[in-house]
Amino acid sequence: MEWEVVIGLEIHAQLATKSKIFSGASTEYGADANTQACAVDLGLPGVLPVFNEEALRMAVKFGLAIDAEIGKKSVFDRKNYFYPDLPKGYQTTQLHHPIVGMGHIDIELDDGSTRRINVTRAHLEEDAGKSVHEGFGTMSGIDLNRAGTPLVEIVSEPEMRSAKEAAAYFRKMHSIVTYLGICDGDLSQGSMRCDCNVSLRPKGQEEFGTRTEIKNVNSFRNVERAIEVEIERQMDILEDGGSITQETRLYDADKNETRSMRSKEVANDYRYFPCPDLLPVIIDDNYIEAVRETLPELPDAKRHRFVKDHGLSTTEAAVLASSRDLAHYFETAAHAANDYKLAANWVQADVSAALNRLEISVTELAATAEQLGRILVLIKDNTLNNGGAKEVFNALVEGKGDGSVDCIDSLIDSMGLKQVSDTGAIEAIVDEVLANNQKLVESYLATPVEKRGKAMGPFIGQTRKAAKGVNPQVVMEVLKKKLSELG
């Protein structure tokens, strides 16, 4: 039978507020356990939540970015369940009146086409703490630093039809929230986590099949792999005439398999009700418009502009616009050099290579976008040849210079990379090279005329060795002339 895959994602993105959603404690990651949990986060008797308006602003910003309805009256509810890292015994979330209603994003598929995926809703809620199972013997430790960190939970419609689409959707959401500056997007620290709802149905059937939910997948690659193996697992069961159990599953990346976590039959009745400690959040058009004013250019718009205004290919544009920081780096360099094409080549080649080699993000790169811009200018005015430019760039990457644009010129001088294009000077160097390499000259002259082009190679190498910054084109011309004079 032919099966159709149905995937919906729930993405939790931690909002990049300085303090927590209902308390003044810091949200910074990596502090000692329980040092960033105040009385409110600990759920002590008598404490009360106060809503952090910055979280509201960020959620509205997100809603506007995905062209969603904004909830002018949103309400916090209590979701009741007991868990050791849930201090109050309930999570404060938004059930019936989320801050963000129906919206959508476009994802790019491998064949270059785009697909619109609808977003059902996005709501604000608080993160839980963490249970620590190592180092406490038969007990568990609880770290409540993360408790109360603001989250926006983004729920998609079940409209994705392959693991690849799901991964593209997750990537796109990542790109949007980081562009907006509302989430640091650091997947390794759990800043974005993804729950994947997967089901299969016979092609053509309208009704959904029974779904499973893969919890807390935290990388683009794992979203794709986890869904792929889950599709295979479900298909095997269905092909054998079995049925799928509705349950929560976990993805084990090492074994590349999903396994059952808990079945929905014994799931909690969360007993939701409106939180009486918090007032409904009421916002008006003025508020929404003021937030809209702060929206940056988003990835899609940027991508289109790169193609339309700057002549980049769609692939180049997609790569460069995928990350806000990379796009910013690229545009800064391109603007300084007034050459988007050249900058695009450099960012995709040398800059990306450096980032991969050092395993760092572009914001951590020692060579600044302004410096790259200067290098590109120097290539264009023939001060640097391509090899020299790479050497300067790599020197900057390794931390040479003082970080300024001005240091580049002195760096070029000290490294002897300044391109020599003066024919007279190059003739003198070539003369010396020829004089010192009589044997090469003889073998060159012995070479049949039609093969001499290739035989010129060693002379070019020797010349560039003698003077690093020589303009290779001029060298070629001078060599041709000198050698032809010899015979």
Partner 1 sequence: MHNKTIAQIARDLAAGEYSSVEITQSLLTRIEQLDKTYNSFITVTAEQALAQAKAADEQRAAGNANAWTGVPMAHKDIFCTNGVLTSCASKMLSNFVAPYDATVVSNFNQAGAVSLGKLNMDEFAMGSSNESSYYGGVKNPWDIERVPGGSSGGSAAAVAARLVPGATATDTGGSIRQPAAFCGITGLKPTYGRVSRWGMIAFASSLDQGGTMTRTAEDSAMMLNVMASFDPKDSTCVDQDIPDYTATLNNSIEGLTIGLPKEYFRDDLSAEMQQQVRDAIAEFEKMGAKVKEISLPNTHLAIPAYYVVAPAECSANLSRMDGVRFGHRCENPQDINDLYKRSRGEGFGEEVKRRIMVGAYALSAGFYDAYYKQAQQVRRLIKNDFVEAFKEVDVIMSPTTPSPAFKAGEKTSDPVAMYLEDIFTIALNLAGLPGMSIPCGQVAAEGGNPLPVGLQLIGNYFDEARLLNLGHQFQQATDWHQQAPADLA
* 437 scored as a contact of partner 1 (CB under 8 A): no
Shortest Å distance, C-beta 44 to partner 1:
7
Residue 336 makes CB contacts below 8 A (sequence gap 6+) with: 369, 370, 372, 373, 374, 376, 377
C-beta pairs of 34-38 under 8 Å, 24+ apart in sequence: 34/142, 34/143, 34/144, 34/145, 35/145, 36/145, 37/129, 37/144, 37/145, 37/147, 37/148
Shortest Å distance, C-beta 406 to partner 1:
50
CA–CA separation, 350 vs 394, rounded Å?
9
Q: Which of 2, 30, 82, 207 binds partner 1 (CB under 8 A)?
A: 82
* 39 scored as a contact of partner 1 (CB under 8 A): yes
**What's the one-letter identity of residue 200?**
L
Q: Which of 20, 61, 88, 324 binds partner 1 (CB under 8 A)?
A: 88
SS3 assignment, position 196: strand
Shortest Å distance, C-beta 132 to partner 1:
13
Shortest Å distance, C-beta 25 to partner 1:
14
Where in 225-284 is the site for partner 1 (CB under 8 A)? 269, 271-273, 276-279
Shortest Å distance, C-beta 32 to partner 1:
17
9 vs 142, which CB is nearer to partner 1? 142
Shortest Å distance, C-beta 356 to partner 1:
44
E strand spans, 29-100 = 73-74, 77-80, 90-93
Shortest Å distance, C-beta 14 to partner 1:
23
CA–CA separation, 383 vs 377, rounded Å?
9
* 56 scored as a contact of partner 1 (CB under 8 A): no
Shortest Å distance, C-beta 229 to partner 1:
31
Tell me the torsion sign for CA atoms 284, 285, 286, 291. Answer: positive
Q: Which of 30, 45, 112, 204 binds partner 1 (CB under 8 A)?
A: 45
Whether 275 contacts 88, CB under 8 Å? no
Shortest Å distance, C-beta 264 to partner 1:
13
Q: Quick one: DSSP state of residue 100?
A: B
Q: Which of 1, 32, 46, 241 binds partner 1 (CB under 8 A)?
A: 46
48 vs 428, which CB is nearer to partner 1? 48
* Binding track over 182-201 against partner 1, x by CB under 8 A: --------------------
Selected range binding partner 1 among 79-87, 199-207, 237-245, 385-393, rule: CB under 8 A? 79-87
C-beta pairs of 439-445 under 8 Å, 24+ apart in sequence: 441/483, 441/486, 444/483, 445/486, 445/487
Scored b (16 or more CB within 10 A) or e, 16-31 reads bbebbbbbebbbeeee
38 vs 235, which CB is nearer to partner 1? 38
50 vs 445, which CB is nearer to partner 1? 50
CA–CA separation, 269 vs 413, rounded Å?
72
Q: Which of 3, 26, 72, 80 binds partner 1 (CB under 8 A)?
A: 80
76 vs 169, which CB is nearer to partner 1? 76
Q: Which of 18, 28, 50, 53 binds partner 1 (CB under 8 A)?
A: 50
**Closest C-alpha among 318, 348, 322, 319 to residue 333:** 348
CA–CA separation, 70 vs 168, rounded Å?
25
Number of residues that bind partner 1 (CB under 8 A): 29
Q: Which of 3, 29, 33, 43 binds partner 1 (CB under 8 A)?
A: 43
CA–CA separation, 97 vs 61, rounded Å?
17
Shortest Å distance, C-beta 384 to partner 1:
60
Where in 119-178 is the site for partner 1 (CB under 8 A)? 140, 142
Residue 44 makes CB contacts below 8 A (sequence gap 6+) with: none
* 290 scored as a contact of partner 1 (CB under 8 A): no
* 352 scored as a contact of partner 1 (CB under 8 A): no
Edge-to-edge strand list for the sheet holding 114-126? 103-108, 114-126, 150-156, 3-14, 192-202, 212-217, 247-252, 257-263
What's the gap between Cα 483 and its chain centre? Answer: 53
* 42 scored as a contact of partner 1 (CB under 8 A): yes
CA–CA separation, 437 vs 440, rounded Å?
5
The residues binding partner 1 (CB under 8 A) are: 39, 42-51, 78, 80, 82, 84, 87-90, 140, 142, 269, 271-273, 276-279
